Amino acid sequence: MNTQTLTARETDTSSIKAQLQQLLDQQRQAYLSDPVADYTQRIQDLKALSRMLHEHQDALVQAISEDYGNRSRIESLFCEIYVALDGIKDTIKNLKKWMKPQRRHTALTSYPTSRNRVIPQPLGVVGVIVPWNFPVNLTFAPLTSIFAAGNRAIVKMSYNSRALAALLKRISKDYFPAEKLTFVADDDGSIGPVFSTMKFDHLLFTGSSATGRAVMRSAAENLTPVTLELGGKSPAIVAPDFSLDTAAERIMFWKLLNAGQICTTVDYLFLPEGSTDEFVEKAKQLVQKRYPDLQSEDYTSVIDEASYRRLWATLDDAREKGATVIDLSGGQGLRDDRLRKFPPHLLLNVTDEMEVMQREIFGPLLPIKTYRNREEVVNYVNAHARPLAIYPFTDDKALTNYYVERMISGGVTVNNCILHVAQHDIPFGGVGDSGMGHYHGYEGFITFSKLRPVFYQGPLDPLKLLMPPYGKTAKKILDVMIRMTK
């Protein structure tokens, strides 16, 4: 079988599993024959990833747009190509340092002639399940960490990324052999449930919390360790001391980037009581200035018909349950189902009974809640599932620390949104319902490595003094050792 041509046309589960097992066996055998890639090989792999992105930049951007119906070229270049390339560059710069064995102190029972080392070694074959919303970024960022750690990878693309999957399958053969990297297309979504049942050495999933639970259940059957990058409802909180102009400018930029289809975007907004009308007017001005024509290529389409219909149903549900619905598009809100361009809306007077406050929105709808004091914000957020991020807007350091310390989230960006995800020297990951585990930068290298503890016995063995038959000497030595722990 040509391992590069597996598709979801084969709907029989056992047949799909057999084909996936063949790919896995191929990579695992290659790993076992050469289990520790050296520094030179890892650098070559990272540079090959970079060349693939550079040499096929336009084709990748076009494939993403084809899958979306329309994806802004600038957004693809900025959020996908640039971020991935910059991450590879940073990893190449730091890899030699990361790979060095770590010296660790020895215990008294081994002192002074023995030594400890912690050696980062490859895990083997890593499975990666990629979502559709940032399919290049969320393919190449994990691969950067996976190859930096010396592993091999099988990557399953989303069924909503058919054009991109076909392109990656075709071009990857020019940069990597199948035993190092293989892309798997999933044309109808039938491969995903089987993929997570395979006995990988690590499995990375990015997607919804509901699917993440299913992936974790499947992986548990094989005791496969997982990293889950999920979503959730990430709030932004504008404090009374912070410029409402600046907050609106930044929040609306990130909220409408990719038409709101970002797991870390602002899912709802807290405003101080009495400031809602001013924010609404500023948001209207910003949207109409930035997107004078929603049908232009600057404004990204909703990914598919089902998601598009879901957003309209969510909007209708909020309206029927008492929300004030504000179309920010300046009268462009008439439905145009052909292009799936969903007009941006604000929703006021929202309640938890509304669908928009019960699940991750993944679209250009922004619910607004008002508050009178900081305790209201903290109590509300902590009464719900832990979010992937929080975004406090304040110039008051004490208030910033209050929010950071009192609310647990996967990450934090202060006075902006999402930018913590783009920092290579800090980890990215969720907590609780928003995920588990980290990657990016050094933490990505660690996630896909086995930190192997190695103890080297020296020529002298102090434990000989404690070997049986036990006598007074052993007792005296242990008495001294125990006293030394005080």
Look at strands 268-272 and 235-238 and give their pairing: parallel
Does residue 257 belong to any structural domain of this protein? yes
Does residue 467 belong to any structural domain of this protein? no
Tell me the C-alpha distance between 473 and 362, whole Å: 70
Cα distances from 357 to residues 333, 369, 388, in angstroms, run: 22, 11, 15
**CATH number of 103's domain:** 3.40.605.10
Residues 212 and 128 reside in one and the same domain: yes
Does residue 247 belong to any structural domain of this protein? yes
**Residue 471 burial class via C-beta count within 10 angstroms: exposed 0-12, middle 13-18, buried 19 and up:** exposed
**Residue 182 burial class via C-beta count within 10 angstroms: exposed 0-12, middle 13-18, buried 19 and up:** buried
Q: How many residues does the chain have?
A: 486
Question: Are 414 and 392 contacting, i.e. CB atoms less than 8 angstroms apart?
Answer: yes
At 113 the pLDDT is: 80
For residue 279, count other CB atoms closer than 10 A to its CB: 23
At 389 the pLDDT is: 97
Residues 23 and 141 reside in one and the same domain: yes
Q: What would the 3-class secondary structure string for the chain be?
A: CCCCCCCCCCCCHHHHHHHHHHHHHHHHHHHHHCCCCCHHHHHHHHHHHHHHHHHCHHHHHHHHHHHHCCCCHHHHHHHHHHHHHHHHHHHHHHHHHHHCCEEECCCCCCCCCCEEEEEEEECCEEEEECCCCCCCHHHHHHHHHHHHCCCEEEEECCCCCHHHHHHHHHHHCCCCCCCCEEEECCCCCCCHHHHCCCCCCEEEEECCHHHHHHHHHHHHHCCCCEEEECCCCCEEEECCCCCHHHHHHHHHHHHHHHHHCCCCCCCEEEEECCCHHHHHHHHHHHHHHHCCCCCCCCCCCCCCHHHHHHHHHHHHHHHHCCCEEEECCCCCCCCCCCCCCCCCEEEECCCCCCHHHCCCCCCCEEEEEEECCHHHHHHHHHCCCCCCEEEEECCCHHHHHHHHHHCCCCEECCCCCCHHHHCCCCCECCCHHHEECCECHHHHHHHCEEEEEEEECCCCCHHHHHCCCCCHHHHHHHHHHHHCCC
At 346 the pLDDT is: 98
Does residue 415 belong to any structural domain of this protein? yes
Does residue 462 belong to any structural domain of this protein? no
Does residue 25 belong to any structural domain of this protein? yes
Does residue 18 belong to any structural domain of this protein? yes
**CATH number of 296's domain:** 3.40.309.10
Residues 297 and 162 reside in one and the same domain: no
At 461 the pLDDT is: 84
Q: Name the domain count of the chain.
A: 2
Q: What is the pLDDT along the chain (486 residues), one digit of tens a residue?
A: 344 445 444 457 889 999 999 999 999 999 999 999 999 999 999 999 999 999 999 999 999 999 999 999 999 999 999 999 999 999 999 999 999 999 999 887 666 788 999 999 999 999 999 999 999 999 999 999 999 999 999 999 999 999 999 999 999 999 999 999 999 999 888 899 999 999 999 999 999 988 999 999 999 999 999 999 998 999 999 999 999 999 999 999 999 999 999 999 999 999 999 999 999 999 999 999 999 988 889 999 999 999 999 999 999 999 999 999 999 987 765 567 888 999 999 999 999 999 999 999 999 999 999 999 999 999 999 999 999 999 999 999 999 999 999 999 999 999 999 999 999 999 999 999 999 999 999 999 999 999 999 999 888 888 888 889 998 999 998 998 899 888
Residues 185 and 267 reside in one and the same domain: no
Which one from 229, 249, 353, 375 is the annotated catalytic residue? 229
Active site residue 417: no
Residues 38 and 54 reside in one and the same domain: yes
At 332 the pLDDT is: 60
Residues 130 and 187 reside in one and the same domain: yes
Residues 216 and 259 reside in one and the same domain: no
- 19-50 residues labelled b (16+ CB within 10 A) or e (exposed): bbeebbebbbebbeeeeebeeeebbebbebbb
Cα-Cα end-to-end distance for the chain: 65
Take residue 251 and report the two structure tokens written for it: 């929040």
Tell me the C-alpha distance between 414 and 419, whole Å: 9
Q: Across the beta sheet with 365-371, what order do the strands follow?
A: 324-327, 345-348, 365-371, 268-272, 235-238, 389-393, 411-412
Residues 247 and 207 reside in one and the same domain: no
Angle at 454 between CA 453 and CA 460, to 5 degrees: 140
Tell me the C-alpha distance between 105 and 188, whole Å: 53
Residues 197 and 255 reside in one and the same domain: no
Which one from 75, 79, 80, 263 is the annotated catalytic residue? 263
Cis status of the peptide bond prior to 101, with omega within 30 of 0: no
pTM for this prediction: 0.93
Active site residue 229: yes
What is the domain range of residue 413? 235-426
Q: What is the pLDDT of residues 169-215, one digit of tens each?
A: 999 999 999 999 999 999 888 899 999 999 999 999 999 988 999 99
Does residue 59 belong to any structural domain of this protein? yes
At 111 the pLDDT is: 66
Residues 221 and 268 reside in one and the same domain: no
Residues 256 and 224 reside in one and the same domain: no
Angle at 410 between CA 418 and CA 362, to 5 degrees: 55
Residues 136 and 279 reside in one and the same domain: no
